[in-house]
Each structure stands twice: as structure tokens, then as C-alpha cells.
Amino acid sequence: MVAATGRTLRNAGWLAAQRVLHVAGAALFAVIVPRLLGPAGFGRYALLVSVSMWFSLLSGLGAVSIMTRSVPRLAAAGDQLGLRRLASSLLALRALTGAASAAGYVLVAVLLLGEPDLVAVGLVAATVALRAVGNLGFALLLGLNEAARWGMGDLARRWLTLPLVPAGYLAAGLRGACGGLLAGEVLVLALGLWWARPYLGREFLDLSRRHLSPILRVGGLFAVGNLLLALTQRTGEALVRVSTGSYEEVGYFGAAYAIYQTIAHGYWQVVVSLAPHLIVELEHGRRDVVARWLERLLAYAVAAAVLSLAGAVLVGQDLVTLVLGRDYAAVAFNIVPLTATLVALAAGHVARLLALTLDRPRVIIAAAGLELAAFWAVGFPVAARLGSLGACLATVPAAFLYAWYLTAKVRPALPYALTAARRALLSAGVFVPLVLLRGRWELNALLFAAGAIAYVFVLTRARVVSAGDLAELRRALGGSASAPAPGA
């Protein structure tokens, strides 16, 4: 048990370190690509890419949920044949659904979005098909409690597209940028399949209904929930385009949302990396242990959300102007309401993790449906008046509604304390007077640094952050210099 806990913490620590590199890559991407393409050109590219994410999730069949639930049980039982049958069969199935999703993407991009460049659309559609296959290999690694390797898929994708998309745009405009996206996906696919190769083989293929139906029934329900969440996360560009008719406003929203999503997705990666370990703990009846994990995770997630929001308010405008240029000044205002949703996401992610652990996909579907409906109901009229800022404002009530509903539904099944999370939120008051002192960028950076130090001090005094937790994390991270091999 101690070894498993250390391994889980070690993987979570490596994931957090990867997010630092991911944020650095996203910052460089923001420096280069939006400036290079301009607001209208970047808006067009961002719209094509964001819509492709809908279809990537549609083709996913809930693979992450399936792997985090099924693989730990098979591995614990020593059923290597069953594990290989599962991985090989799902890989073949995702190849089929990926091709179908790519075809659906082409129809939506051409008929509904009115994109005239069929070559650009075709290149992004090919990316959809390859991503469906490649992500299966990384999802398998997550189920094997190899979350550090799982996170490398996103990290590699980010750093590969950093040079490839700008180089492609300089060579062939929008088509070249989409071609750079596809080239990066080819390399990510190769990496995922290489790491997952011990578990893949034609001889293990079993596409019979008897084998796949029980797995896909639950996985399909989780996939519906994931798709609804993605529609909230990835329809902002479409909402802005429909409500304003302006590619510039789409570009402003897309740039702000890319920054926000880099942080938000990083939170979810760290949270879901704990799922295999918590499922095993629950299988052994250690519900109190799972509750303590959830309590600590929520408190730390709220603290991270507070720091992110404080950073957006105090130094966000200065950083956006520096990184993106004055043409994207509207992005600085857009980031503030987006980062405010991170507080709700902290609670929502922990409740979603519990729903996954308890095998409760229907409650995720209901919560995601409420979030999507609220986002469009509020976002469409507000975006028509305020443009991209209106769409960003609409994310706040939608996210809080999602987090409230999901927490209310799953927490009674396995109660976890909210006291530490409340203290983390109330401690954010240390930043309030600092906001009133904002001035030049040097002063703003100093205010944020001072506020962050004061906030961590208050968290320690309020026992939100304990020396024992930090010591345990330090021991886990120091236990291994690298993640184990996939078959270990």
C-alpha cells in the first residue's frame, strides 16, 4: 500500500512538473502563432481546431474512463491476457470510430461553419482520426498507474506543434498551419503506440459483442459526459462566431481560452491520475482513505485556483500585452472571468473523480448537460452585446452550476470534508487590498509575489497545507528519478 501511494504521488508530481513545461510551451505558442496569423487568421484556425476536439472526444469511447476502471483490476488480478485483449480490441475499435469522426468533422466544418478551404479541413480531419488511435495508447498507460507517461502525450503534442504550425503557416498559410498540426499528431501517435506495444497485438484482437459490450456500456456513458463537457469547453469559439459574426472576436476568445484551458486541463490531469489508486483502495474497502485523499486534493486545488485568479487580476494584463501584443488587449479582460471558474473546477474535478471511482457516469452526464445549457443560455445574448468577453463571463455561472450539482449528487455516497477547502478560499482575502494598489508592471509583479507568499503562510497557519503532506510528497518524488517502464 505504501509503495502504491508513493508511486501515485510520484506520478502526480511528475505530471505537475510537466504542466510547467506545458505552460511554457503554451506561452511560446501564444507569443508566435496569434501574432503571426493576426486576430482574424488566428480566429479561423482556432475555430477549426476547437471543433475538431468535439469529434476527437466523440471517437474516444470513454477510453480514459474505461482504462482507469478496468486496467487496474486486470493488473491486480494478474490477467495479462485480458489486459492485452482489452487494449488491442479498443485500439482497433477506435481506429474505426476515428475515421467516422473525421468524416463527421468535415461535414460540420464545411456545411455548418462554412469553411471554404477544403484542404485545411481535410488536414484537421486527418488529425482527428490519428488522435483517436494515439490517445488510446496513452490512456492505457494511465490505467497502469503510469500517469507521468500518459501526460507526455499532451506535452509532446504542445511542443511539436510549437515549431510545426508557424513553419507550416509561413510556407502555405492556413493549409500549412493545419498541416503542421497533422505532422505533430503523427509523431505523438508513434510515441503512444511505441510505449503501449507490449500490450498490443493482432492475436489479442476480440471485437465480439460478448467481450466489448460490458466494457463499452459503461465507457459509452462516461464518453457522453465527456462529450457534453467538451461541448461546453470547445463551443465558445462557435458561440462567439454565431453571436457576433466576427473572426476577430473569435480570436480574442480563442487566445484567452487557450491560456485558461492549459491551466484547467492540467488540474484535471493531476486529479484523474489518482483514479487507478483510489479505485484499488475502494476495492479493498478503505473508504476512509479515499475520503482523506479527496479532502486534501480539493483543498490544494482550491488553493491553486486562488493563486491563478490572483495572478490573472494582478499581472494578467501586463503579461498578455507583453506576450500577445496590443492587438490582443481584449484577451487580458477575458482571462479574469475564465480563471474565476477555476475555483468551481476544483470542486467539480474532485466530484468528477469520485463519480468515476464509484462508477457513476449518469450523474456526470446530467451535470455536464446543465453546464452546457447554462453556458449557451447565458452566453449567446451576453456575447451578442459584449463579444468575446460575454462568452467568457458566461463560463462562470455554468461552471459553478456544474460543480454544485455534481458535488451534491456524489458526495453523500462517500462523504469527504470541505473544511480545508473553505479555509483555502477564505484565505484569498489577503489579495483583496493588493488589487487596489495595482500600477506599473513592476509593482504588480511585486504585489503578486508578496500576496502569494502571504497566502501560503496563511494556508500553513490554517492547517490547509501541512508539513506532513509536504514531507510525504517530497519522499515520494525523491523515491525515483524516472517513471517505471509500462510493463513494470
Is the pLDDT at 481 greater than 50? The verdict is no
Q: What was the pLDDT predicted at 60?
A: 65
Measure the CA–CA gap between 248 and 226, rounded to whole angstroms: 29
Is the pLDDT at 261 greater than 70? The verdict is yes
Measure the CA–CA gap between 94 and 130, rounded to whole angstroms: 10
Q: What is the per-residue pLDDT across 31-81, written as a single tens digit (0 to 9) for each?
A: 788 878 887 788 888 888 888 887 887 776 667 777 777 787 787 778 888
Across the range 436-445, mean pLDDT stands at 88
Q: DSSP code of 108?
A: I
Measure the CA–CA gap between 415 and 413, rounded to whole angstroms: 6
User: Quick one: 285 exposed, middle or buried, by C-beta within 10 A (0-12, 13-18, 19+)?
Assistant: exposed
Given the C-alpha cell 479493498, which residue does it identify? Answer: 284
90 Cβ contact list (under 8 Å, min separation 6):
61, 63, 66, 136, 215
Q: What was the pLDDT predicted at 105?
A: 92
3-state SS assignment for residue 231: helix
User: Where are the alpha helices (H) located in 325-387, listed in sequence order?
Assistant: 329-357, 361-386
Q: What was the pLDDT predicted at 190?
A: 94
Report percent pLDDT > 90 for the chain. 32
Q: What was the pLDDT predicted at 7?
A: 66
The whole model's pTM is what?
Answer: 0.72
Task: Kindly report the length of the chain.
Answer: 488
Q: What was the pLDDT predicted at 485?
A: 33
Q: Residue 244 — very low, low, confident or very high, per pLDDT cuts 50/70/90?
A: confident
Q: What mean pLDDT is reported for the chain? A: 83
Is the pLDDT at 220 greater than 70? The verdict is no
Q: What was the pLDDT predicted at 342?
A: 92
Q: Residue 4 — very low, low, confident or very high, per pLDDT cuts 50/70/90?
A: low
Measure the CA–CA gap between 71 and 313, rounded to whole angstroms: 42
Is the Cβ–Cβ distance between 57 and 227 less than 8 Å? yes
Q: What was the pLDDT predicted at 39?
A: 76
DSSP assignment of 207-222: --HHHHHHHHHHHHHH
Is the Cβ–Cβ distance between 195 and 136 less than 8 Å? no
Centroid of chain to Cα 44? 22
Pick 238 or 363 by higher pLDDT: 363
Is the pLDDT at 464 greater than 90? The verdict is no
Across the range 441-455, mean pLDDT stands at 92
How far the first Cα of the chain sits from its last, in Å, is 16
Report percent pLDDT > 70 for the chain. 89
Q: What was the pLDDT predicted at 207?
A: 76
Smallest CA-to-CA distance from 327 within 29, 26, 31 is with 31
Q: What was the pLDDT predicted at 326?
A: 73
Measure the CA–CA gap between 263 and 271, rounded to whole angstroms: 13
Q: What are the domain boundaries of the chain?
A: 2-478
Amino acid occupying residue 306: V
Q: What was the pLDDT predicted at 350?
A: 93
Across the range 334-344, mean pLDDT stands at 91
Is the pLDDT at 302 greater than 90? The verdict is yes
Is the pLDDT at 486 greater than 80? The verdict is no
Pick 210 or 249 by higher pLDDT: 249
Q: What is the per-residue pLDDT across 381-404, written as a single tens digit (0 to 9) for each?
A: 999 999 889 999 999 999 999 999
Measure the CA–CA gap between 345 and 333, rounded to whole angstroms: 20
Pick 185 or 136 by higher pLDDT: 185
